[in-house]
Amino acid sequence: MDTGTAIGWTTGRSARECATAGGAAGHPPLIDFERTGGVDLDRLERALALHGERVGQGRYRVRGGAQDHWVDLYSTAHPRCDCGDHLWREQVCKHILAALLREGHERVVAALARLLERTRERAVAAAVLAASAPAPRRAA
């Protein structure tokens, strides 16, 4: 069992094997991130809290929200998830992003650096705001 990832995946294969396995016939999942505006950092951040189980090549059961979801990264040449975000909004949902992270998808893994930078910037801004706030008045 591979427990060396921050997103809590379980699998019978190592992270290196999953990252290099590719999808159906050895091809990576076909996702048009340009059409969807790139990797959504808010969804990616939520994906980090998910837990999943690899149930087949490119197939995952993703848990961590209100209900389990099933992701297939290679069905009909593009990823699918049974959640409303993917089905009705036609977005790359947090469940697909979590599965893509586990597969080692280059673009999604690279987006982690942007997410970390955004988190650092927000922490600095919060610290500056807290330092510049007036001290609370004490009752006389």
Structure tokens at 131: 């330092």
Q: Distance between CA atoms of 94 and 51, rounded to whole angstroms? A: 11
Domain ranges of the chain: 9-132
Q: Output the 3-class SS for 24-44.
A: HHHCCCCCCCCCCCCCCHHHH
State residue 137's pLDDT score.
77
State residue 15's pLDDT score.
39
State residue 77's pLDDT score.
55
pLDDT in tens, 52-72: 789 988 899 999 888 999 999
pLDDT in tens, 87-97: 888 889 999 99
State residue 129's pLDDT score.
86
Strands 51-56 and 9-10: parallel
What percent of the chain clears pLDDT 70, i.e. is strictly above it?
A: 76
The residue ranking higher by pLDDT, 44 or 134, is 44
Give me the mean pLDDT over the 26-36 stretch. 72
C-alpha closest to that of 19 among 109, 111, 81 = 109
The residue ranking higher by pLDDT, 131 or 111, is 111
Q: Which amino acid is at 80?
A: R
State residue 97's pLDDT score.
94
Q: How many CB atoms lie within 10 A of CB 43?
A: 18
Give me the mean pLDDT over the 25-46 stretch. 80
